[in-house]
Amino acid sequence: MSLILGLPVAWYLFLQMFGENKFELSAVGKINVNCQCEASSIYILDTGIIFDENLQYKRLLIEGTDQNIVTDLSEGMKLCFDSLGVYPLILTGPDNSIMGYYQLTIDDVDRVLVEADLLKYLKTNERE
């Protein structure tokens, strides 16, 4: 019985002493130089969604609007992401970088929301 309880506690203490929590996101592409995009924003490229994606689209809008990270594209901004039409969601980072491309699936929406939070966190801690 003590092994069952002791092993997880020992593992937790080991990770607390020797583990490092470093979060790092790398850019996967660049946006057109003439486009000015907000860093740590999720851009929605395609609103022609099918029924299965509708729930995830609504959840993304609700959670992203609360966090002020979701942007629907205006006609002028669509040219910035024209070559990326297969992905309905794009996460942007600093200096017009693209941090990721995402589909409107439950896993991708969860992932893009977490990565957007992480970008905002890294941006605020960079200033300190």
pLDDT of residue 127: 58
pTM exceeds cut of 0.85: no
Q: Tokens 């693209």 sit at which residue? A: 98
Nearest to 85 by CA among 124, 44, 114, 120: 44
Q: Return d(Cα 17, Cα 39) in angstroms, integer.
A: 34
Block means of pLDDT (10 residues each) for the chain, 128 residues, are: 78 82 75 76 72 77 74 62 72 84 87 86 71
Nearest to 122 by CA among 46, 27, 50, 18: 27
Distances (CA, A) of 70 to 63, 106, 119: 9, 16, 13
SS3 21: coil
User: What are the residue ranges spanned by the domains of the chain?
Assistant: 25-127
